[in-house]
Chain A
Amino acid sequence: MAIIVYLETENGSFKKSALEVSSYGRKLADEKKTNLCGITFNSSDPFKIEKYGVEKLINIKTDHVFDAKIYADLLCKNFRDLGGTIFITGSSADSRFIFPIISILLDASYATNVVEFPSSISPLVLKRSVFTNKAFVFTELKNKHKIIGILNNSFGIFESERKLEVKDYISESLDSNVQVESIKEDGEKISIADAEIVVSGGRGLKGPENWNLVEDLAKTLGAATACSKPVSDMGWRPHSEHVGQTGKPVASNLYIAIGVSGAIQHLAGINASKCKVVINNDPEAPFFKAADYGVVGDAFDVVPKLIEGLKKFKSR
């Protein structure tokens, strides 16, 4: 009876969400007086997770490219070997790809978009975001095996060091039913899913040639860039930057919207962000009703001043 966390890596390093998932798992393991084990793929620095309370880590070594079915099989096998009952994961696109498969393989109850530590441990009840961030629901997971998918930036990262034992698991080459080829196109940019801060631009920026404002602000803050639906529809920015109900979901700590009016579909997609700032010259823009902080002003005037101020703030 152990709690298992799936710790995602990128180029061998744990993603920030892996530290959050570990912190969540550690607290749950303490409440349930049980052990916390982790499973990861190809970690080059496995002991980095020791600080976040993992006691045993299975480091699966595979040269297989990401294949959801194969990854799901390997995760299930190791979950069973570790005697897992609760499986905790993050909310990346990859993890949302793998875990529905795992939930069938393990016959597990599965909750996604979990925003808090369980409101009850036994029975296990989780608060989830539903109606595209317009409400919450408390869901009880009934099966013996349970999967908790937590939303990024919803719990936080806490240190709680334990003695860590690392075991390598060498996966034999597995037959894949599909060929997978990755098409990298976003280069070294921070992805919207992993970002703590997202800077987003709307039609108010008048044209793609003005996007340096968004990019410069994002660079100053170490943020990801995003855009509203009309902007991606008009081809000013790539579709992969479109956030909102039909675009990518955002759950950042800080979301800054520049020249975005705040259509209901846009707000639905970004509402899981903790702090929302709007810069718009139209005081009637609906975004002001959803935002925590607002600046009524011309973006072309306000944003450069904000960048300048932030640079001074950072060098303080």
Chain B
Amino acid sequence: MKILVCISSVPDTTSRINFIDNETEFDRSGVQYVINPNDEFGLTRAIWLKEKESCEVHVICVGGIDTDPILRKALAIGADQAFRVDTKPMDANQVAKEISDLVKEKEYNLIIAGRESIDYNGGMVPGMIATLINANYVSNCVSLDVDQSNFKAIRETDGGKEEISGSLPLVIGSQKGLVEESDLIIPNMRGIMMSRKKPLTIIQAKFKTHQTKTVKYQKLPPKSEVKLVKPEKINDLIDLLHNEAKVI
């Protein structure tokens, strides 16, 4: 079995969000980049599958040279090979098309992509890939079992869960639940050493047109101070929520 895990390089949650060039570009200076958490849950699940039965795990990122450390980390965690489509990703559609192109060429059985990235939060890439390659698709995937040709997955819905089963190939939108946070693999020295010898192949970008255009970013408006209510005057809170905030 061949598994492809799609990796997005995202600013760490604690990063300061600033914009430059007249608010049209994200300010990368001083920002620490990490594997998108939802992708990392998926990567860990893929490594577990690899330990259980013979399969190959590849990772792919659509991005510039600055995303290589993230791919090396994925290799150190246990992926066998990495690909980077060398372009600055402009929208989900472009990313999905670049990834689908590799999937068609390498004939992966299982494609894992985070349910959404924590930077642009689009949540579109896995569903778009599934449609482009005509594979089955499970979003918000919190449990996955596969054998050589079939899968059984659980999707989290707004009010419960759904069990979806069918045949491979399959694309899932991975999230917490697939594995737990405590299961995430921290690369050891041996993994880091080995990752340097594993192949990281650069692919030329093919899809240059975009369906959306970023016009401008905007920071959150400054927040006013919290209004404190004394515990013994709790009815004041009810009054504020009713008359001022108008939410009850």
Chain B residues whose CB sits within 8 angstroms of the CB of A291 once the complex forms: 226
B124 touches A305 (CB 8 A): no
Residues of chain B with a CB closer than 8 A to A125's CB: 215
In-complex Cβ contact of A297 among B124, B127, B231 (8 A): B231
Residue among B159, B180, B235 with most chain A CB within 10 A: B159
Asked if residues B220 and A277 are in contact (CB atoms below 8 Å), the reply is no
Report if A130-B119 is in contact (Cβ < 8 Å); known contacts: A178-B164, A246-B181.
yes
- Measured CB to CB, the closest approach of chain B to A112, in angstroms, equals 6
Min CB gap B175→A, angstroms: 7
Which of B13, B38, B124, B234 makes the CB contact (< 8 A) with A309?
B234
B57 to chain A, nearest CB (A): 22
Interface flag for B93 (CB, 8 Å): yes
Interface residues on A, range: 35 or more
| Docked pose: A213 CA to B26 CA in angstroms | 42
A179 interface residue (CB < 8 Å to B): yes
Q: Assuming the A-B contacts A132-B121, A177-B136, A275-B247, are A298 and B231 also in contact, with contact meaning beta carbons closer than 8 angstroms in the complex?
A: yes
With both beta carbons as reference points, the residue of chain B lying nearest to A254 in the complex is identified as B247
List A contacts of B216 (CB < 8 A).
Answer: 137-138
A173 smallest CB distance to B (angstroms): 17
Check A135–B229 contact: CB distance below 8 A. no
Instruction: Given A94-B157, A184-B160, A295-B234, verify A245-B13 contact (CB < 8 Å).
Output: yes
The one of B159, B217, B247 in contact with A135, judged by C-beta atoms closer than 8 angstroms, is B217
B156 cross-chain contacts in A, Cβ below 8 A: 93, 240
Q: Which residues between 182 and 201 of chain B lie within 8 Å of chain A, taking CB atoms? A: 182
B9: CB under 8 A from chain A? no
A99→B123 CA distance, assembly (Å): 10
Contacts of A47 in B (CB 8 A): none
Stretch of A23-31, A37-45, A101-109, A200-208 contacting B (4+ beta carbons < 8 Å): A101-109
Known contacts A140-B215, A294-B227; A181 and B162 CB within 8 A of each other: yes
Quote the shortest CB–CB distance from A151 to chain B (angstroms): 10
Report if A185-B217 is in contact (Cβ < 8 Å); known contacts: A113-B121, A246-B176: no
Q: Please judge, given known A-B contacts A112-B124, A293-B226, A295-B234, whether A221 and B218 are in contact too, CB under 8 Å.
A: no
B161 close to A (CB within 8 Å):
yes
Residue A85 is within 8 A (CB to CB) of chain B in the complex: no
Q: Chain B CB within 10 Å — which of A101, A186, A192, A242 has the most? A: A101
Chain B residue with the shortest CB-CB distance to A125: B215
Chain A residues in 8 Å Cβ range of B20: none
Residue of B nearest to A268 (CB): B13
B92 and A110 within 8 A (CB): yes
Is there a chain B Cβ closer than 8 Å to A69's Cβ?
A: yes
Task: List the B side residues contacting A309 at CB < 8 Å.
Answer: 234-235, 237-238
A297–B234 CA distance with the chains assembled, in angstroms: 10
Q: Is B242 an interface residue (CB 8 A)?
A: yes
Give the interface SS of chain A, mostly helix, strand, loop or mixed: mixed
Instruction: Report A-chain residues with C-beta under 8 Å of the C-beta of B140.
Output: 93, 96-97
Expressed in whole angstroms, the minimum distance between the Cβ of A136 and any Cβ of chain B is 4
Over the window 146-162 of chain B, the binary record of Cβ atoms lying under 8 Å from chain A Cβ atoms (1 yes, 0 no) is 00000000111111111
B237 pairs with A313, CB closer than 8 A:
no
Is the CB–CB distance between A179 and B166 below 8 Å?
yes
Cβ A293 vs Cβ B214 within 8 A: no
A contact residues around B157 at 8 Å (CB) = 93-94, 182
A245 near B211 with CB under 8 A, answer: no
B219 touches A (CB below 8 Å): yes
The smallest beta-carbon distance between A258 and chain B, in angstroms, is 13
B131 in contact with A104 (CB, 8 Å): yes
Q: Which of A135, A221, A301 makes the CB contact (< 8 A) with B231? A: A301
Report the minimal beta-carbon distance from B227 to chain A, rounded to whole angstroms. Answer: 5
State A178–B158 Cα separation when bound (angstroms). 20
0/1 interface trace, chain A 75-116, chain B, CB 8 Å (1 if under): 000000000000000001110110111011100111111000
Q: Are A290 and B142 in contact (CB under 8 A)?
A: no
Q: Does A226 contact B (CB under 8 A)?
A: no
Is A274 among interface residues, defined by CB-CB distance under 8 A?
yes
Contacts A239-B142, A245-B13 given: A183-B210 contact, CB under 8 Å?
no
A139, B228: Cβ atoms under 8 Å? no
7 new A-B contacts, CB < 8 A, other than A101-B131, A131-B119, are A109-B93, A113-B121, A129-B121, A135-B218, A136-B217, A138-B215, A293-B245
Which 5 residue pairs spanning A and B have beta carbons closest together? A100-B127, A297-B231, A178-B166, A104-B131, A193-B158
Q: List 29 A-B contacts (CB under 8 A).
A: A68-B137, A93-B139, A97-B139, A100-B92, A104-B93, A104-B131, A130-B120, A131-B120, A137-B120, A137-B216, A139-B213, A140-B212, A140-B213, A141-B211, A180-B164, A181-B163, A182-B157, A182-B162, A183-B162, A185-B160, A245-B37, A246-B175, A275-B247, A278-B226, A293-B237, A293-B240, A297-B230, A301-B231, A313-B248
Q: CB within 8 Å of B: which residues of A?
A: 66, 68-69, 92-94, 96-97, 99-101, 103-105, 108-113, 125, 127, 129-132, 134-143, 177-186, 189, 191-194, 196-197, 221, 229, 233, 239-240, 242, 245-247, 253-254, 264-265, 268, 274-275, 277-278, 288-298, 301-302, 305-306, 309-310, 313
